[in-house]
Homo-oligomer: A and B are copies of this chain.
């Protein structure tokens, strides 16, 4: 079975572990969000791709969910001693090496997709990891200007990490997405897929950004295979992260049903909500999307495997 997964960072990576456990023989292609990529210290940093790579490759900091296990921060401390920041972004020494290799390869002319493949030769994540695009896309968030005069666009990482999404987001703009081309292999993987899954990743700044790359949404619709998602919202609140803040920016309520309808029945065939949101099943199905309520907390591999199994079962059900 060929499965395509549109993944953000922590939520996507953890779901993928469950999926690989639920379908150990599946051929899985992960299309990773690159909208939260950022240039720091002259280096190209790809937080979501790395989170997937480290998680599936056994290098992740398990409790934190991002960054490397057994990490140290010597380089960052030294940079701070030079007065060079930002200090709010936690790049560890092990992580730095990844960004140094990536930046060096990109400087030599390799596209991000080739670089990602090279990095994965070390990590052997067990999936094919593709960036959504080799072009530069950068998610910006429109916030109130600090001086109270008008508005100001900040990089997603600045909004998410430095500001902890503590101020209202008026708009979320994947800058460059409209000009971006899907990376080599992306459209082909979708066309060849037997099922497409949306993990409980952020529907705006993760899955939404991938869908904003021209051709991706159309390819998924045209593939004619089941498209099943899992709600990142449980009991009207994000399972983790601050997805509610960016949902508000795009005018979507923080409910499991609202997110399903935001994707829409033109894209989504099936939707899994948590058992606490069982009341939403009827609303989602009324919108033309098959819906089931199951436990959606990725507490451990067993729970996550069960979620993936349910997603694949729902896909078969809608395939009919």
Q: A88 interface residue, CB < 8 Å from B?
A: no
Q: A29 interface residue, CB < 8 Å from B?
A: no
A32–B79 CA distance with the chains assembled, in angstroms: 23
Q: How many residues of A contact B (CB 8 A)?
A: 27
A82–B95 CA distance with the chains assembled, in angstroms: 12
**Contact: B79 with A100, CB < 8 Å?**
yes
Q: A63 interface residue, CB < 8 Å from B?
A: no
**Contact: A93 with B119, CB < 8 Å?**
no
**Contact: A93 with B107, CB < 8 Å?**
no
Residue in B closest to A97 when the chains form the complex, CB atoms: B78
Contact flag A75-B93 (CB < 8 Å), given A122-B81, A122-B83: yes
**Contact: B83 with A97, CB < 8 Å?**
no
Contacts of A83 in B (CB 8 A): 121-122
Contacts of A72 in B (CB 8 A): 72, 74, 93
Contact flag A74-B101 (CB < 8 Å), given A42-B107, A83-B122, A122-B81: no
Question: A: which residues have CB within 8 A of B?
Answer: 41-43, 72, 74-76, 78-79, 81-84, 93-94, 96-98, 100-101, 103-104, 107, 118-119, 121-122
